Amino acid sequence: MKPLVVHSDLPLIMAKLAFSQIGQSVGLERRNYDLNGMKTKDEVHLVWGMKYRPKIYKELAKQKNLWFMENGWFSQSTGFTIDPMGANGLSSLLHSQLPRDPTVSDEMIDSYTKDLHKRMKTHKDITNERDYIFIPLQVERDTQLLYWSECPARHPNRLQWFVEQVCRAFPNERLIFRPHPRDKDTGERISQSCGAFRGHKSSTLESGGNTYQWIKHARAVISINSTVLLEALTFLTVPILAFGTGLFTGNGIFLEAKGDTGRLKEIFSYSIPVERRRWFLSILMQRHIPYKMDFNGDTSFYPELNALIKMTKEI
């Protein structure tokens, strides 16, 4: 069995923990992002994060012995996800026709989300506000915004442009924008120089609490392609709008504006069947691989992890 070669700038402590619990002799070796080093045929490769443009990753995705690795979503600190095609707008989940695994019942999904909400302390009220539109912002330099935001503005003004459009679309709604914890500068620029935000009678920037706590009491959630859109999915009935492209694209789980600012106003007239959202949640559950879990050697619940382990045995 060959080791898994992880191409990453980050320490592999958590990844080692996860793979050590699989119950199989899988070693991890860290290397840099040298393209030739990712193309060896007698090893299994995991590429963590994006260092190149999407076209390079599309080419790498043709390799049968390579997967792409990212932080997961329920929550990012508790697990990771692997995908043979890539992350975000490159994911194999775009326009997915995957059938729902019959072993993932509604009861399992409800239990999973209930536990998640408990861990994220959604019972704790962080505000007296209700019936607002929640708009989580992202990191301006993030690859999701760089390649898949559908915003015509360029760095460092994409988020400011987006905030302008939301404020203009909803002049009479309560709007709560939440700057990304790792991009406070964007929030400061918006509060100082975003005319539509400053002129809106009921919009604020809020940094307290966590995103799940804000989603719980939101009338709707609007974002470009943030992971928070997937978090909002766990509440099943909250209206959700994605402005850009992401792994959710083409799956019919929330309203997709695809860069059309005119569609923002449709958020309250657009509905998605709960069962459709349960279907996609079941897919995401099987793609979110916990860092801490006793697999007992059984990876069958996680199809991509199962395929990766199988590949290490074949090489």
- Give tens-digit pLDDT for 211-257: 999 999 999 999 999 999 999 999 999 999 999 999 999 999 999 99
C-alpha triplet 23, 28, 29: angle, nearest 5°? 170
pTM (two decimals): 0.94
Q: Mean pLDDT of all residues in the chain?
A: 92
The residue with greater pLDDT, 22 or 226, is 226
Do β-strands 255-256 and 203-205 pair in parallel, antiparallel, or remain unpaired? unpaired
- In the predicted model, is pLDDT for residue 291 greater than 90? no
Choosing among 3.40.50.2000, 3.90.380.10, 3.80.10.10, 3.30.379.10, the CATH entry for 106-282 is 3.40.50.2000
**Mean pLDDT over residues 55-65, rounded?**
96
CA dist 312 to 2, 3, 65, 81, 294, Å? 6, 7, 8, 18, 20
What integer pLDDT is reported at residue 10 of this predicted model?
A: 76
- Contact yes or no for 113/281 (Cβ under 8 A): yes
**Mean pLDDT over residues 30-47, rounded?**
92
What integer pLDDT is reported at residue 21 of this predicted model?
A: 66
Alpha carbon distance 225, 228 (integer Å): 8
- Give tens-digit pLDDT for 104-148: 999 999 999 999 999 999 999 999 889 999 999 999 999 999 999
What integer pLDDT is reported at residue 2 of this predicted model?
A: 67
Q: Where are the domains of the chain?
A: 4-95+288-314, 106-282
Banded model confidence at residue 22, pLDDT cuts 50, 70, 90 = low
- Please give the single-letter amino acid code of residue 171: P
**Mean pLDDT over residues 32-60, rounded?**
93
